[in-house]
């Protein structure tokens, strides 16, 4: 039996010194997938149609970026994945609800997501809308039941609601839809990206840190990094929509141009967009410097965000 198994040294995943990012990502993804499977209602629970639809989209995979950011935010300030797992899953449920609703004919009208037919194509629009609604409400039930200080849970509920609502994701989506086919300023584009995408990414990191007892200085550093990561993520998403393929992305590429969406490459070109994403990631790395080695997973996630192909 090796030392880790005998319990004389911490498990490999707790040692941040020789950091193996692929192993980190794979381990955390497995933990999140297992927790999502346990926390989602069974398919045969009444009424089965909506529970099947919820599981169909959540268990279709995806990078699990937001829940891993919740975990990384906690670990960066000395917390553990188990404590923040319900909130990690909650962020994935909110993200999945937004994808289901975004794919509806009334919004982006997409046929493929996460490599399979979109939710409404399989279950019909009414059930897809309700599955999204149910994922959003289940998310808050999960956060409320977290094994943490009730005052911190209340703060996290408020912060996640703000990031998901009209002051965050929904607000960004509204301006995005209303900007389609129009010439918009760089300022409006940044508003859309910071609200539609960055808000949820930032609150993922911050929620993990808060639940793990971050100090105000740690919270501030993580919030700055989260905002940078979130904007960089959406800029890279815009770039991949120009350069990627259905096989790589699991969704139809080129859809932004077809839908006359306002994007970074459309406004600034690919090279400037790539440079902006890299600059944001460097800024995030600088903000995280005072947190030292425990923030290494967040730094690696930041780099992964700009280098990803899907
Ligand atoms: C419907 C309220 C509402 C909001 C929709 C998030 C969003 C707003 C729409 C999704 C469409 C889109 C392209 C959003 C921007 C970037 C984004 C969130 C991409 C998908 O996230 P990934 O790449 O997806 O993390 P996976 O499948 O890996 O989880």
Residue-wise pLDDT tens digits, 93-131:
999 999 999 999 999 999 999 989 999 999 999 999 999
Query: What are the tens digits of pLDDT across the range 145-165?
Result: 999 999 999 999 999 999 999
DSSP state string for 83-100:
HHHHHHHHHHHHHHHHHH
Least confident window among 32-41, 136-145, 239-248: 239-248
What is residue 13's predicted lDDT score, i.e. its pLDDT? 43
Q: How far is the CA of 145 from the centre of ligand 1 (A)?
A: 26
Average model confidence (pLDDT) for the chain? 91
Residue nearest to atom 27 of ligand 1 (CA): 62
How does residue 243 score in pLDDT terms, banded at 50, 70 and 90? Answer: confident
Least confident window among 53-67, 77-91, 230-244: 230-244
> For residue 108, which atom of ligand 1 is closest to its CA?
11
Ligand 1 binding pocket mutation candidate from 197, 241, 257, 309 (most atoms within 8 A of CB): 197
By residue count, the chain amounts to: 310
Structure tokens at 34: 């297992």
Answer yes or no: is pLDDT of 24 > 60: yes
Q: What is the pTM of this model?
A: 0.91
Q: Kindly state if the Cβ of 132 falls inside 6 Å of ligand 1.
A: no
The secondary structure of residue 289, as a DSSP letter, is G
Residue nearest to atom 14 of ligand 1 (CA): 197
Q: How far is the CA of 76 from the centre of ligand 1 (A)?
A: 25
- Of 165, 96, 107, nearest to 135 (Cα)? 96
Q: Kindly state if the Cβ of 169 falls inside 6 Å of ligand 1.
A: yes
How does residue 249 score in pLDDT terms, banded at 50, 70 and 90? Answer: low
């Amino acid at each position: 039996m090796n030392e880790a198994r005998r319990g004389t040294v911490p498990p490999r995943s707790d040692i941040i010194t020789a950091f193996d990012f692929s192993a980190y990502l794979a381990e955390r993804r497995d933990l999140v997938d297992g927790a999502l499977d346990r926390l989602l209602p069974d398919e045969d629970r009444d009424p089965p149609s909506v529970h099947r639809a919820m599981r169909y989209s959540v268990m279709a995979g995806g990078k699990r970026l937001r829940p891993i950011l919740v975990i990384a935010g906690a670990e960066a300030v000395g917390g553990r994945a188990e404590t923040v797992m319900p909130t990690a899953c909650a962020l994935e449920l909110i993200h999945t609800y937004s994808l289901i609703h975004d794919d509806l004919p009334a919004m982006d009208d997409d046929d493929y997501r996460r490599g399979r037919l979109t939710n409404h194509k399989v279950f019909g629009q009414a059930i897809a809308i309700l599955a999204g609604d149910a994922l959003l409400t289940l998310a808050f039930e999960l956060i409320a039941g977290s094994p943490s200080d009730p005052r911190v849970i209340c703060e996290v509920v408020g912060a996640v609601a703000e990031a998901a609502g009209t002051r965050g994701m929904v607000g960004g989506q509204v301006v995005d839809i209303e900007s389609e086919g129009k010439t918009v300023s760089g300022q409006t584009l940044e508003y859309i990206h910071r609200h539609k995408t960055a808000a949820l990414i930032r609150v993922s990191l911050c929620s993990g840190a808060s639940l793990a007892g971050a100090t105000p200085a740690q919270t501030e550093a993580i919030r700055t990094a989260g905002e940078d990561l979130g904007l960089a993520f959406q800029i890279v998403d815009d770039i991949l929509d120009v350069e990627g393929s259905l096989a790589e992305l699991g969704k139809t590429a080129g859809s932004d141009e077809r839908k006359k969406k306002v994007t970074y490459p459309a406004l600034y070109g690919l090279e400037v967009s790539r440079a902006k994403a890299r600059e944001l990631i460097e800024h995030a790395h600088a903000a995280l410097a005072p947190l030292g080695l425990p923030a290494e997973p967040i730094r690696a996630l930041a780099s992964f965000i700009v280098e990803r192909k899907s």
